[in-house]
Structure 1
Amino acid sequence: MDYTSIFTLMRAEVTLTAILVFVFLYDLMAGERARRRFSAVVCCLMVVQVVVNLVPAAGGELFGGMFCHTPMDGIVKSMLSVGALIVFMQSDTWLRREDTRHKQGEFYILTLSTLLGMYFMIGAGNFLLFFIGLELASVPMACLVAFDKYKRYSAEAGAKYILCALFSSGLMLYGISFLYGTTGTLYF
């Protein structure tokens, strides 16, 4: 397997994973003065991510057709990245409050993990990768729903989200098993 083709076709996922690792390490090692620029650093990284996704790449398949890339995927992933960038810019004042300042890193990591799951759902050519992407998107989203754990409504919303996600995931797996039993394959 040629690793340059992996990095070419999965460059959005690879660069977002690199941003995730960088944000995690920045949150872990940054001092108090550097944490004031946390939002600016993450927003700059997301702008780079959008620019990287907009550069067109040829289509192709990886991992036996489990991951498919088309030129339109880069545009859709860029739109999702712009949406995450808007969320980051809007949440800056909320994350600078005294009671939420210590949770900046968790917020950015959870949001970027959700974005990575959405990227995998877009590039899926197989129901297995689609389901993995769906779970990678929904589990951090459940944490974001219940992010303000000292408020009763936030914890209640998180519990309801998890229960709905469990039910819908089970129902989807049940349907995928019927599809596999009928066709003998998990590919789209």
Structure 2
Amino acid sequence: MTNEIRDNIARNATKQKFTKENDAIKQEENDLALELYHSLFTPEELKLVTKLDTKWFHQDKCLRFNCGGYNLMLCIKEGVPVPYSRHCSILGNISGDLAIKAQEFANKKKDVEADQAKALRAIGSVLYSVNTIKQLKTVWPEGADFYAMYDEASAKSKGGVPAVQIDEINKLLGLGGAE
């Protein structure tokens, strides 16, 4: 089993487990970023900027705010016009309940990322403790769905690890065999 296969199995397992959670976090991040963005500018400013062609203002999908001392960067799905030409400049200061809400979200996102990293490390430690899929099947039979594509005995197999081309190697090194 190669390191690439181990890493693919670990990534696929954690991705499958955390997909719904990540999608929810991304949506919450998008909504919060837009709420903070709209709190910094007057409705007149936002209305005026939408009348102009998008080439007049930098459209940014990465919005940064100072939320009660936190330098918080939030990503959104579609870019919004920002008054700075530099990518991801701090748009303004957020205070009060909105700053607390933003800080709570940042902590929640950090916790989810920590859980994912912990799962990835745990799976990685199992995967790096074995050398073959056969060994992995005895150690972690519950994870069969994640490594079935690499198990030559499985119907889901994509052929396992590519076979080493011995004849080609021998020819390149000038070692016996067919010429």
Smaller-chain TM-score range? under 0.3
In the superposition, the TM-score normalised over structure 1's length comes to 0.24
Higher RCO (Cα < 8 Å, 6 or more apart): 2
Instruction: Considering fraction of residues, name the structure with more helix.
Output: 1
